[in-house]
Structure 1
Amino acid sequence: MASNSQTRVSLKAAADAAARERLRQALPATVGHLQQHQADQIDDNDIDAYVRLNWLEWHGGGLRLTITGRNVCAQMAPSAA
Structure 2
Amino acid sequence: MTLPTLAEIASRETLRDGLLATVDLLKRRRASEINEAAVEGYIALDWMEWHGGSLRLTTTGENLCKHMTSLLARNGAQAAA
TM class by smaller structure: 0.7 to 0.9
* Structure 2, unaligned runs of 5 or more: 75-81
Aligned residues: 72
The sequence identity of aligned pairs, in percent, is 43
Give the TM-score normalised by structure 1. 0.80
1:34 matched to which residue of 2? 26
Give the TM-score normalised by structure 2. 0.80
SS at match of 2:70: coil
* Structure 1, unaligned runs of 5 or more: 1-8
Deviation of 1:78 after TM superposition, in Å, equals: 2.9
Q: Compare CA radii of gyration and give the structure with the larger one.
A: 1
The Cα RMSD (Å) is 1.9
What pairs with 1:1-80 in structure 2 (closer than 5 Å)? 13-79=5-71
Deviation of 1:67 after TM superposition, in Å, equals: 0.4
Q: Distance in 2 between matches of 1:77 and 1:46?
A: 20
The runs of at least 4 consecutive aligned structure 1 residues that moved more than 6 Å come to none
Q: Distance in 2 between matches of 1:53 and 1:33?
A: 19
